[in-house]
Amino acid sequence: MALFGKPKYTIVRLKKKEMPEGLWTKCEECSQTLYNKTLDESLKVCPKCNYHFVLNANERLDMLLDKDSFLEYDKDMTSDDPLEFRGPKTYKEKLEQDQAATGLKDAVVSGEGMLDGKKIIIAVTDSRFIMGSMGSVVGEKITRAIEAATKNKLPVIIVSGSGGGARMYEGMYSLMQMSKTCAALALHRDAGLPYLSVLTNPTMAGVMASFAGVGDVIIAEPKALIGFTGPRVIEQTIRQKLPPGFQRSEFLLEHGLIDMITHRKDLKETLSKLVDYLS
């Protein structure tokens, strides 16, 4: 009875423990909450629904190339502002903003490296930089990488992820990169050398209509959005409902636009085998 006989009670309030930020990520496909360390260990693929999260260029290179084997080309090449573009932000302001946010000079990283002990030339676009769109620098760096591969008789691998296509800030200068990159790839093919194109989510517009769409073997990640114009624009134009899964990897494989769909965990091995076979 001593407890109830006390004139006063002491109330202890426990301070709510706050969850540190940056530990969890919500899956965009199934809404599952994923521990970031587990997500990184699975190459940023949701273990529940197989959704492939977007990777940046450096993450792609680390995933595909042998450790410490990458030598970057044209690292300091930056875009000019030939049209003196003006909008809510100027082109120069947009470039400076994305350079600060990503640590990149532009939307592609290119160079040479080793893939399971085999020397290759590789270029990877990064959708964090103006949606991975292709301007003069992207086209020039990819073209130079292809030309280096042709000169040194090496395979080329380009990993594309562009929702922006050709970069509107540069107008015709950007569109010219479509023919320039394809011309370099034609000479590479004439030399009997392989080019493997890897499409990620999303790969659209001028990028898909140029270098991304002309690989000797075109590989896509699961459920990647691939095409020229987005499905909503197409539906509004033709005033018809598109088939389920239209412009997704699985639909395009069924209709012959791509050659295979490869899970991210199998991509390095698949590319290595293709390089062996085609070389």
* Structural domains of the chain, with CATH: 22-53 (no CATH), 54-278 (3.90.226.10)
Token pair of 3 as six digits: 């407890």
Interval 71-116: pLDDT, tens:
999 999 998 888 888 888 899 999 999 999 999 999 999 999 999 9
Residue holding tokens 């270098």? 211
What is this structure's pTM?
0.85
Sheet architecture: strand order including 118-125: 71-73, 108-115, 118-125, 156-160, 195-199, 217-220, 260-261
Identify the pLDDT of residue 137: 94
Q: What is the rounded distance in angstroms from the CA atom of residue 110 to the CA atom of residue 258?
A: 23
Q: What is the rounded distance in angstroms from the CA atom of residue 92 to the CA atom of residue 18?
A: 40
What is the percentage of the chain residues whose pLDDT exceeds 70? 92
* Number of other CB atoms surrounding residue 229 within 10 Å: 12
Q: Render the burial of 253-273: b for 16+ CB within 10 Å, e for the rest.
A: eeeebbbebbebeebbebbbe
Interval 209-242: pLDDT, tens:
899 999 999 999 998 888 887 778 887 888 888 7
CA atoms within 13 A on the CB side of 150: 16
What's the whole-number mean pLDDT along residues 190-216?
92
What's the whole-number mean pLDDT along residues 159-188?
91
What are the φ/ψ torsions at residue 180 (nearest 5 degrees)? Answer: -65, -45
